[in-house]
Chains A and B, each alone.
Chain A
Amino acid sequence: MTKDHQTVKPAIAGAPPQHLSGGLHVAGQSRFVVDEPRPAGMLFAKLLASPYARARIISIDTAKAAALPGVAAVLTHRDVPGANQIGHAVRDEPLFPSDETAFAGQPVALVAAESEAIAAAAVGMIAVKYQELEPVLTIAQALKQDLLYAPERRIERGDVDQALAKADHVIEGTVASGGQEHFYLETQACRAVPGEDNEIVLYSATQSTAEVQEIAARVLGLSSNDITVDVRRLGGAFGGKERAATIWACLAALACRKTRRPVELRLERIEDMAWTGKRHPYESTYQAGFTRDGKLTAYAVELNANGGAYTDLSMAILERSMLHADNAYHIPNARIVGRACRTNLPPNTAFRGFGAPQGIFVIERVMERIARTLGKDPLDVRTLNAYREGEATPYGQPVDEACHPELLDRLQRNAQYDRLRGEVAGFNASHRTLKRGIGVVPVKFGISFTTAFLNQASALLWVYTDGTVSLSHGGVEMGQEVNTKVAQVAAAELGISLDRIRVESANTKRVGNASPTAASTGSDLNGSAAREAAGQIRQRLAPVAARLLKEKHGIKVSEDRLAFANDRICDPRHPDKPIPFAELVHEAYVNRVDLGAHGFYATPGVHFDRAAGQGRPFHYFVFGCALALMEVDLVSGNSRIIDAHIVHETASSLNPEIDQGQIAGAFIQGYGWATFEEVVHDAKGRYLAVTPSTYKIPTIRDLPETFAIEMVERPRKCSSVFGSKGIGEPPLIYGEAAWFGIKDAIESLADHKSEADLAFPATPEAVVLAAEKLKG
């Protein structure tokens, strides 16, 4: 274990700190991109989007739009000075299409004008001639035409075919899961402001400062050091601003470069929902063999993702699906195949969970079917198959500190599972149109970017002579409170109070080459980098402190025994004779000690061989499980969640209040995905639910009556900064428990003898149709 893995909790006194920006948020003073005062002469950009999912562009006539008074520029693919290419991992995505559109909603032209109204009017004057082509929209169509983003990927262990042949029971099936709209409250936005020379500052609502910088420079034919990306905070992102923010930033940058004026590009809600990619829908097939006791012996699964129009992050997302196809279960013989399909939907992209929820959903279906086949309780089957300490995943990584049997046991106790089962049976016997059911889902989630080199981060820390601190790091604050956690780490390392620290905006000039704030790694990576930076300062301050203690108080103490705490530095044997932090800093300054530090962190030991499908892609795993008690109204098909119980191992949480907020928020988001959030498109590939009046996310009325979250806090060897663990994504998967609860409720109609054919998400329509089918 390296130093970073030590499980010492930071010495932060009192209750967990509040949200670092909380006071500003509740007072309405926190600023998002479009809240900043407008720079003089700013233009507003609006986009013309392709009405067709796939069409040949025959001509684009911008003359009339350009002639409208108040229009500063009308831009198309012809106006891109650098490369018309915004792909990142794979370079397959143009800023503007030049010959063929690839999805409905793809920007074809941009207008920059003195007002949004003028820009919108001018967009209406652009004449584009298209020749409509037949789009590919579904996974089935893409597979038939062999439209894959890369050859299929494989992870294999053991001899699956032989194990299937030998198994007591074999089941097979197909499983589909739906897309999901991010519905961050702040829509996509960027302001581009020109500087002197070739400089442009992009105030972009992005999770990926370095990517926006790199690609904007490429598109404009400039260098990375011409472009500055600055992000103070995002109004939610959930993955939807990781890759998918780049295009809007590049468009704003292009308009700025062409007009040499500040430009604001902000999507309206309806544009954002109609044009941007979503969570990947999956269609998968499986074969599973198991013993008469219910132990899974063989699992062959093919995971097929609908990637949309460009590669985007689809290959990485598919990879995470494959690496989570086992979820919490040891599978001696496994064959995991993954395919990412090219279709003409907006490029599907990162969304909290990043493919893991889809991969996990398939094996959870298998667990339920094993239980039904054998007449066992699904919870028992899950516990039976759960990883034990030391067992390895199909890709060869040992599951250290595996604890699902224990966590599931805690869940059973917390929810009083046996009593609850009895109550549900009683309820169902006495109700005609209301039925209840229970769903349980355990989650094992690997933390790290599976692209190993992304697991690095930097921080820049300045201590000023008054004892206050400016802290920059590569993470983007988007409500997950990475800033609060990173500040806590630096404060603990320096022994100062949080209010001495100002966390600055994420800015490529202060922290370059930052990995996206994603994969639940924000606090691990940036917190570790900040700790490293703060440690350097501490080391430089220590000799000064030792000298001061001697001079002022006559105390002789070696540098490595000094205690930094409560804004003071002292010899722990003489806590009554400290040096105030501000005094120490000032003394260091006049003695020409460097008070600035750049910290760097790279996660040790992570690697993954894609060709072999083997390696140690994850720094550690997060473990937890959830139970949902659902009630279904068979008249309307509406379901409601009555109780939610969650047991989640947080290790040594940096801030339990933040972690609880992440768990609750992710659970409800996953619940929405599993129930009534439905992404639908028409036969021409146009999204139909593109406003919140048609696409419904959960409201406060969806809060369960009992929402019991147990955070299991304990020291774990496999963890990150100060013994903490990442938190953002794993709890989203708990939402699948709601789907299983609904299915369980419907199956009470046939006394749990046969399986309900319930679609995912379990919309009211899906519920009514499944119930009717089951009743025959």
Chain B
Amino acid sequence: MRSSFGPVLTIAFVVTGQWVVSLVEAQTISGVTRVSVGGWSDPFDVKKADALLEKMIDSGELSLEATHGDTQIPERKHEGFVQVFRGIPVYGGNISRQTDRGATVSIFGSIYSGIDVNPNPIFSVSDVAVLQSLSISLAPRQPAHPLKVVRRLDGSYALVYQLTGDDAVSYFVDAHQGHVVMQVDGKRRQSAVGSGRGVHGDLKKVSSTKYSTRYEARDQLRPSDIVTFGPVDTDEGLNRLAVGVVLPGDIATNRDNNWIRRGIVDTHVHMGWTYDYFFKRHSWIGLNGQNSKVYGVRSSSAFARNNAFFAPPPFGPDGQGLAIFGTTSQGTPITTLDIVAHELMHGVTEFGIRRRNGDGLVSTYEQTLGPSSVQIDGETVQCPALVLRSADGVGRSFVCSDGRFVLVSNHGGAIGEALSDVFGTATENFFHPQGDGPLTADYLLGEDLPELGRLSGNRPGPTRSLNDPASLRIDPVGAVGYPDHFSRLLRFALVRVGEGQLAIAPVVLFGDELFLLRSADNGGEHWNSTLLSHVFYLAVEGGRNRSSGKHVRGVGFMSRGQIESAFFRAVTELMPGSLLLPDMANVMRQAVIDLFGRNSSAGDAVFDALEAVGL
């Protein structure tokens, strides 16, 4: 298809809150120094990185934010440093250092360079006029230190206030010009599109609390209260709970303790089981490791349609986060054990990293330059000439640099989703017998809700596969499968969507081939997650990576706890708040060395699995 302005792609281009937008023109992609040294590295590199770290601490470029002891290895200590530019923290610039009786063991993190912003804001954080003009309704709880330097999608920097809206979105408002520089949807989603299947009629015990003439879905058997709200049928009710306003009628109740709402039962029971998994396998209590209350809500509201997600702190009652479990288009509650555990793992990831870095795991975008042209209908089209036309008929030009497509990929988001898939699957394997049918354990996510996922040929299937990621399609067309090798990482093109504003387009480039997808998935955070979750499968069960052809000898199902422990250590003890997939691979290497040593079956399994997927 062609127009007088050049090739135009007409697609269903629906703008959603998952977009990450920037208000400036693309500029030169500036540098990011990623530090990743540890037990697998040359000891000289560790010393060199440590010396650099100390130098930055002395110069005030790094500030110690938090210190905590190691929950698995008593002699170890972990420090979290945040990058500071003229006294202002840099969003996503942080370092995690592990020491053993004073000696540095590993260092991970990202340091941004080339920051050139004016550190003096013009607007104040409480400038209501600005907020009103932006139509942002603030949540009751806001970050304690909202003024930050943020790196935009195009690699340039801005001085911003990080504000939390009551829609669970973090807005980065330019402190000089008063407009939104970037917005990040704080909700950690289990996204889904699909058709229907009923909830299974399995009998479960519900831990409730009796109040007068009714029972409430408030679990007091466990050391921490686990509370289930719902069913919440309206978006208003869901938003109210998300911002922490709880009314007496919100909690799920039953008259005779014989619970008949299957979605409530699954939500409440599976949250309890997930709590049990973290406790039994990892001695981790609650989501934050300190037994904060766990809150979940069952919802059939429009916002929660085909959706489940975790709203991290400061959202939720007590500001401790809130897991939301929606309903499929066919009316089935999205409350299977693996999905519930997936969402709660988002909370563990958030809290685990916040022990060292106050921002938690942030979306970390890798910018790369793609080809200068793509093939469309057999014709070669140069980057500057390509236009993306959305459903509203507006054409949007692609962002190019030196004539090449600027491509982005959200590694941070993909790592978060991968960890949630790993522990969603691990929890399922902890409680269910292995098998292929309903209520059995496997290495698929959402397999008991096939309406959510897609097999080739647009047939219903699991949401994601850890054992064979590429067997599932990421879009109804079925042209693109989930990646199982780093060379197949989905990289998205950027387009201009407004006056100087950039957005991640639902367009993926492989070489000079261009694929249109149904959404941008916030830079492929769910879709690219299989790169890391596949590592988990290979390290446990072993097997051959379909893309690289490399074989891995896994530790075996009965020893899967070793691999789970390594992943859990990575989250709760080692990970910095901002990292790319290759950094995460090194964090995994360090974690398994810490726990089992390099020359162990677990060490071999993790190292080989990472290599098999190209990490």
Our verdict on whether A and B bind, yes or no, reads: no
